[in-house]
């Protein structure tokens, strides 16, 4: 079945950077939009960024705009999230996901029953 595997999380000091990776198996990533989500302690999971397929627009939540950059390498079936200027408020579990249906982020609508990774912990602390 389709698998998404995140990596790259860890402990970083405030102001530091991390790069998350999401490797997709058994699904041609180049055909679909893919998103990064996070769940902060005590909060619901939220979408923070989406990368459209086929050169379409990327989107960002206001909370990460200007600090995080999403990218994708369809030849490697992998998506990335470069996170700079990390803050303690960014601490949480980060997930990648795709609905395996939509090309553009404007139509992106990932639900719990769609394709999710297992999550990777990001901790920002001094």
pLDDT band at 109 (very low <50, low <70, confident <90, very high): confident
Q: What is the DSSP letter of 62?
A: T
**pLDDT tens, 17-64?**
999 999 999 999 999 999 999 999 999 999 999 999 998 899 999 999
**pLDDT tens, 57-96?**
999 999 999 999 999 999 999 999 999 999 999 999 999 9
| Strand duo 120-124 + 115-116: pairing | unpaired
């Amino acid at each position: 079945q389709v698998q998404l595997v995140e990596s790259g999380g860890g402990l970083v000091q405030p102001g530091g950077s991390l790069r998350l990776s999401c490797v997709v198996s058994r699904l041609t990533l180049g055909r679909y939009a893919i998103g990064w989500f996070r769940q902060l302690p005590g909060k619901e999971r939220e979408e923070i960024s989406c990368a459209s397929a086929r050169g379409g627009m990327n989107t960002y939540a206001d909370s990460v705009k200007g600090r995080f950059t999403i990218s994708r390498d369809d030849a490697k079936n992998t998506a990335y999230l470069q996170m700079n200027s990390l803050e303690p408020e960014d601490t949480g579990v980060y997930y990648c996901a795709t609905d395996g249906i939509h090309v553009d982020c404007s139509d992106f609508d990932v639900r719990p029953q769609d394709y999710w990774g297992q999550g990777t912990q990001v901790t920002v602390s001094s």
